[in-house]
């Protein structure tokens, strides 16, 4: 709490009280605990409250000319709702005491004033005021922090591409649904030479602010490496080494990075500890792309990342996803699972990437029902459209 003396306004029309109060409380005034100011009635008290905004506590008599103590109690919150009031009443005057308490008095003392009791009452009141102010300050801090989180969340969403690539030959759709305000998943794409594109889906260990920071740097490094890179394996090798350099907190990110050539349907990919992508075929079957034995990025320098190449047939649909999809749980604690994902389009499949991607999110949401979402959910769909030239 503030180290300044607490300022107490004493309101009483009896002229004797002022010297008595100063005399009996002089020790505490000398120690710098309290300072006193005095008013003769409610009107004067209100004026002083308006002029001196550092008054913490009002100690007021009830019966006074011009404006009595009970009326003053009603007026004080209009000047400052945080000021605490203590009423001085006649002994046994329960009716006025009840009225005063109902009008917001914090406590009361009775006449003749027992100054030891008054000291206890003042200190108790001031302690309450201090706690109240601290609570308000904490709340303000929390609100500020919440605002910052909201900003961070918006920033995070805003770095995700909104316009995804697509031509007559292929279309990409993607979405990320964070479990909390700040997520650890992301997806991205880059245009490469010869009309090729690089696509990525990634999942940072843990969630919240540290994960978000790690996600930001992962995403930047990945983008840079992808643009200058010579293939997915090389790209992950480079990002892994860069991430590991200053990673005391043992954060890591799993990444599926792939490069797609729309002209040939060729897809090269490298998997850094991430879930295996699924390719859905036109006949309702699906293929899980084999793991490439890559380790999650950021853990250990110098690791090699093998890449594989497959060919997407016309109408094949590649789905990259994070474990938020397969590990989504329903209220019976069952997981959505890879098999449920694979069986989604056995009967029929929407003809465009956006609809497929949306259908996956909907299937996960339907499955989870009322179960809370515990992990970020990300899904990126690439559909090959044209026939072979």
Closest distance between another protein and the C-beta of residue 271, in Å? Answer: 8
373 belongs to the binding site for another protein (CB under 8 A): no
Shortest distance, position 250 Cβ to another protein, whole Å: 5
- Residues 252 and 299: beta-carbon distance below 8 Å: yes
User: Shortest approach of another protein to residue 327 CB, angstroms?
Assistant: 8
| Interacting positions 269-288 with another protein (CB under 8 A) | 272-276
In the shown chain, the binding pattern of residues 225 to 254 toward another protein, with x for contact by CB under 8 A and - for none, equals ------------------------xxxx-x
Q: Does residue 299 belong to the site contacting another protein (CB under 8 A)?
A: yes
Give the alpha-carbon dihedral of 375, 376, 377, 380, to 10 degrees: -140
Decide whether 216 or 359 has the Cβ nearer to another protein: 216
Residue 251 Cβ, how far from another protein at the closest point, in Å? Answer: 7
Answer for which of 89, 121, 205, 357 binds another protein (CB under 8 A) is 205
- 231 φψ region: left (φ > 0), alpha (ψ -120 to 50), beta (else): left
Contact 84, 125 (CB under 8 A): yes
- Token couple for 267: 């897809």
CB under 8 A: which stretch of 58-66, 75-83, 169-177, 290-298 binds another protein?
Answer: 290-298
| Helices 94-102/69-79 angle, 10° precision | 10
Closest CA to 374 of 211, 214, 178: 178
Rule CB under 8 A: choose which of 68, 169, 188, 203 binds another protein. Answer: 203
Q: Output b/e per residue, 199-211; b: 16+ Cβ within 10 A.
A: bbbbbbbebeeeb
Q: Which of 89, 323, 345, 381 binds another protein (CB under 8 A)?
A: 323
Q: Is 373 exposed, middle or buried (0-12, 13-18, 19+ CB in 10 A)?
A: middle
The answer to the question of residue 189 lying near another protein (CB under 8 A) is: no
The neighbour count for residue 71, using CB atoms within 10 Å, is: 15
Q: Whole-number minimum distance, CB 29 to another protein, in Å?
A: 49
Pick from 20, 142, 288, 300 the residue near another protein by CB under 8 A.
300
- Binding residues (CB under 8 A) for another protein: these are 203-207, 249-252, 254, 272-276, 291, 293-296, 299-300, 323, 327, 374-375
């Amino acid at each position: 709490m503030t180290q300044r003396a607490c300022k107490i306004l004493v309101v009483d029309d009896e002229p004797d009280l002022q010297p008595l109060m100063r005399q009996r409380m002089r020790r505490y005034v000398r120690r710098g605990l309290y300072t006193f100011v005095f008013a003769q009635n409610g009107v004067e008290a209100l004026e002083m409250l308006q002029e001196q905004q550092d008054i913490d506590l009002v100690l007021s008599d009830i019966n006074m000319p011009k404006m009595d103590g009970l009326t003053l109690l009603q007026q004080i919150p209009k000047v400052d709702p945080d000021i605490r009031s203590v009423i001085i009443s006649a002994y046994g005057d329960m009716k006025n005491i009840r009225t005063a308490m109902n009008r917001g008095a914090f406590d009361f003392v009775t006449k003749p004033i027992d100054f030891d009791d008054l000291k206890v009452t003042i200190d108790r009141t001031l302690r309450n005021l201090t706690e109240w102010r601290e609570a308000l300050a904490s709340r303000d801090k929390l609100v500020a922090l919440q605002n910052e989180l909201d900003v961070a969340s918006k920033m995070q969403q805003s770095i995700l591409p909104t316009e995804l690539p697509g031509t007559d030959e292929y279309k990409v759709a993607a979405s990320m649904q964070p479990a909390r305000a700040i997520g650890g998943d992301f997806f991205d794409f880059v245009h490469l030479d010869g009309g090729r594109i690089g696509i990525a889906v990634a999942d940072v260990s843990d969630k919240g602010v540290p994960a978000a920071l790690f996600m930001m740097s992962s995403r930047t490094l990945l983008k840079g490496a992808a643009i200058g890179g010579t293939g997915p394996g090389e790209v992950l090798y480079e990002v892994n080494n860069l991430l590991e350099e200053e990673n005391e907190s043992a954060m890591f990110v799993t990444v599926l990075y792939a490069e797609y050539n729309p002209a040939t349907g060729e897809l090269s990919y490298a998997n850094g500890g991430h879930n295996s992508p699924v390719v859905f075929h036109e006949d309702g079957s699906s293929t899980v792309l084999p793991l490439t034995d890559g380790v999650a990025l950021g853990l250990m320098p110098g690791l090699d990342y093998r890449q594989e190449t497959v060919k997407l047939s016309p109408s094949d649909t590649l789905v990259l996803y994070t474990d938020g999809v397969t590990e989504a749980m329903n209220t019976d604690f069952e997981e959505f699972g890879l098999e449920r994902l694979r069986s989604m389009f056995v009967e029929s499949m929407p003809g465009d990437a956006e609809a497929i991607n949306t259908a996956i999110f909907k299937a996960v949401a339907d499955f989870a029902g009322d179960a809370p979402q515990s992990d970020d959910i990300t899904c990126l769909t690439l559909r090959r459209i044209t026939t072979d030239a």
